[in-house]
Structure 1
Amino acid sequence: MALSQYAKPPTPFLQHSAFIFFSILSVYAINLHATDPPLTLDYYSSTCPNVLEIVRKEMECAVLSDPRNAASILRLHFHDCFVQGCDGSVLLDDTITLRGEKKAPTNIRSLRGFRIIDGIKNKLESECPGIVSCADMLTIAARDAVILVGGPYWHVPLGRKDSRTASFSLATTNLPTPDQGLLTLISKFLYQGLSVTDMVALAGAHTIGMARCVNFRERIYGDFQETAHKNPLTEIYLSNLKSGCPPIGGDDNTTAMDYFSPNLFDNSFYQILLRGEGLLNSDQEMYSSKLALETKELVKKYAFDPIAFFQQFSDSMVKMGNITDPDSFVTGEVRKNCRFINT
């Protein structure tokens, strides 16, 4: 889908088709995730009362040593919840009998932070052996990661179990990718029971973290100049992007998705989209796509109202964290090591 903020408004046919498309998916998503999971805020109050403090201290050390670790843990949580629900499946290593998710195209060379998770788990096993699931631990760590770089606080419902399975195929198909168009992106969020508002708010996580050249090369050598305002500063920015991401090679070279404040969780990401300078195609689509009727207004809202963004991001993170596979509460476990199922 070509991007252009100067494009004509969508035709009535496109509007009608998009409405039907979203309506069908919304009904399906509601049916898929209609039952709230049995999660509570005081789940570990008697069995591991220090769990929140332990996770927070470990995350403080991790973010202090490298602010990028905040984005890494947050991304791990996203990639976990979009495959089989928030069940810790993304943390599993490959074994002879299990094909994990780490080497799926959307994850390989993209996910970081596994050693941080290992460290937190070791602390928890010393304090409360066999009590706190890796899925819960990752959910708490993602919340703390956001707080530690200036983002909002939210209460984390707990009580998830760790899956004894993983899904390479779902990791390949369910996760949004940087090159996808708006309709595809929305459909992937609706499939998880997340609304268009949730999608735009959760995309704000890109206010921290880095992107690999391979994920934005097509954008900067394609329609970047069409969506961005033509001014000297934008030309300099684009030139710098191209110098670090050549047309061929340098796939693993990285750059910040929010060049204004890459290590601070704020709303500047949306302000960058208003200028048409979004690094990833999937992000800029929310503002510049011909079908960006609802998403464009949300981008503008969060760009001008950081409080609204923080509130919606918190609500949407809780909602995403509540995506669970009901079977995991029956067949799941509390792993002793987040990389392997218990023997």
Structure 2
Amino acid sequence: MHIKHIVDVSKLPLSNKEWNELVSQNETNTLFQTYEWFSSWYKTFSDTNDLCFPVVYDGETPIGFAPLALSKKSNKSITLQLIGYNNADYLDFITPTQKHDAVNLIFDYLLESVENWDRIILNNIPYTSSTSGLIEDACKRHNLHYLKNKSIRCPYLQIEGRQEEVDKLLNKYSNKRPLNYFRRQGELEYRLLTDEEIEKHLPEFFSQHIRRWADTPSPSLFNNPINQQFYINLTQQLVDTDWLHFSVLELDGKAISYHYGFDYDGKYYWYKPSFNIDYSTRSPGSLLIRFLIQSAMQHNRQELDFTIGNEAFKKRFTNKVRNNVNLQIFRKSRTFWIHKALQHTGKLKRRFFE
């Protein structure tokens, strides 16, 4: 078993089919691990991220890889992160076979042969993946400091085997009230956008999201054109797959809510919603979730994964919770102690104001 380090995207030794075959066997297998996601993200953000892509070989055959990027921050420190770090809800190494040896080989290579990094940030690794435990063991073996947060909540609605429970949830008065209101206003239709319609609807989706968050402490990510471009690139990559689930809720033909999400490996994934703020008091976003759940049931999907975030609205529509793990590995002890102090201060602030 050996490593080849790829720094030029044109030299990747895997076709998109070979890449996705490895992903399909991986412990973490979501759309965020696919070649289409990687390609879209790197095409969009390569100006500020250098590829750092260790590929594990068994003889002449690639059996795994770590899709990483070197990101230079304004304070001149250089961070090594999994590609998609600012957009993906689930991240991981792609090491479906001989995982213990593959992860250790990757980590040793990053430590001994990749010199220009100060910190490795591995965020949003599912708690069910063995990767975080293997990385912790490797840190201890090399006497490296690390910080770990394993409380990143990922609520989801399990549908498979619990259809009766989901029906009761949908029939709660609080969840039916938006449906009753909008049906009285006109013709209500929820539908999946066709490939031909998506290009027309993306600008309205962006506009809705920008208006929705304009007067809040967290302005829309779509204020930055590069984030709009990422969604455009991702859409173009996914248009030939069945994985993009971009749906719209319309009242008399006018879009009152959108959801840009995914349909992958028997599950729906909640990713980016928007709604027309003219109807904000009538909960168009909640109504869209209702239709999304009904669609998942009709198509025999196992679950609707609401991905990372513990927003209050998710509690109304979910029945289980997973967790992600965040890891930070430090090359220098001084940097570790600075970040540990900052983390402790942040916890104290949250405790004081809660």
TM-score by length of 2: 0.24
More helix by share: 1
Rg comparison, structure with higher value: 2
More strand by share: 2
Higher relative contact order (CA closer than 8 Å, sequence separation 6+): 1
